[in-house]
Amino acid sequence: MGSTLGHKHFSNELGDSFLDDCFGIQPGMKLLNSQVFKVRTIHVLADMLENNCFLKCHQKPGKQASPQFKDILENYGKLQLAKKISKRTLQGKKIILVRFLNFLNKQGITGIEALTSDEVLSYLDTLKEYSSNTRSGIMYTVRDFLLFLHLEKHIKTPLNNLFPVIFTNKYERLPSYYLSEEIHKILCQIDRNTVIGRRDYLILLLAVQFGMRAGDIRQLKFKNIKLSRNTVELVQQKTKRFLQLPVTKELKYALADYLKNSRPNVDDPHIFIKSRSVHPKN
C-alpha cells in the first residue's frame, strides 16, 4: 500500500496501483459487483485528468445485434425516426429486436433472408413466462419489424401474418392509483425547509397536478413557463403533442420557492439541475 502514499497529483498509473494495493483489482480482470464502483471512481478521475471535465458514467454498452443483422436494424431505426417516433421509444424497440435477432443468430440464421416461420414461432414460444402485457408489447414490435422486412424485400413471406391478432388480458394487472388523501399525505411528508425538499415538492406537484412524465419534467425549461398567461406550455417528448397546462397558485408558490431558495445559481435553461452538474456562473 505504501506505493500509493505521499503523491500530490493523480496519474493513471497511480490509480491502477491504488486499486491493486487496496482492493486487489488489476486491469482487465473480471469485476465483482462490489468492485465496479471503485474502478468507475478511478476512471472518473482519469477523465478529469485527460479532458479537464467529468464525462458521463462509465457503463457497459447495451447488447448489440449480431453483425449480420446490424445494417437491417439500423435501417429499421431510421424509418421509425422518419415516422416521428421518439428516440426513447425507438430505444425500447431496439432492445426487443436485438434479443430477437440474437435468438435468430443462435438458431443458425446467418442472413435475414433465411428467416422462416419456424424461427419466429420458436421465438414466440420463449415468451410464455412473461406477463400478458409484456408479451404483447414484444409481439407488437416483432410483428412491425417483420412487416418492415417484407416491405423492404428482405424476406419473401409476410411473416407478420403469423400473429395478426395479439391478445392481452386487461384484468391480469389492474392499474394502480392513489387517492387524493394519499397524495396529500405524500406531499406533506416532504421537508420543504431543505434544498432537496423544495425541489422534490415541485417535481411531485408537476406530476400530480399535470400528470407530466418524468422525462418532460426533467427537460422542463424556463421558456416553458408562461407566467403572463399562467400556463406551462411544452411539446411532450414521447407523443410530440403540444400541451398547455394552467398554473395553479400552489404550483406558482412552489416554483418561486424552489427558484429563490434551492436552485443552484447556474446559467442553464433547464429548471431542474443535477447537483453533480453544477457549474457556477462567473
pLDDT in tens, 113-136: 999 999 999 999 999 888 888 888
Q: What percentage of residues in the chain have a pLDDT greater than 70?
A: 88
Residue 168: how many CB atoms within 10 A of its CB? 15
CATH of domain 190-274: 1.10.443.10
- Lowest mean pLDDT of 118-132, 135-149, 267-281, name the range: 267-281
What pTM was computed for the model?
0.53
Is 80 exceeded by the pLDDT of residue 172? no
Q: Is the pLDDT of residue 1 over 50?
A: no
The domain locations on the chain are 2-51, 67-162, 190-274
Q: Greater confidence, 178 or 192?
A: 192
What distance in Å separates the CA atoms of residue 110 and residue 267, rounded to the nearest whole number? 52
Which CATH superfamily is 67-162 part of? Tyrosine recombinase, N-terminal domain (1.10.150.130)
Bridge partners (DSSP) of residue 245 are 232
Residue 272's contacts (CB-CB under 8 Å, 6 or more residues apart) are 199, 203, 217, 218, 220, 263
Q: Cβ(157)–Cβ(150) under 8 Å?
A: yes
Task: Provide mean pLDDT across the span 230-255.
Answer: 90
pLDDT at position 187, please? 92
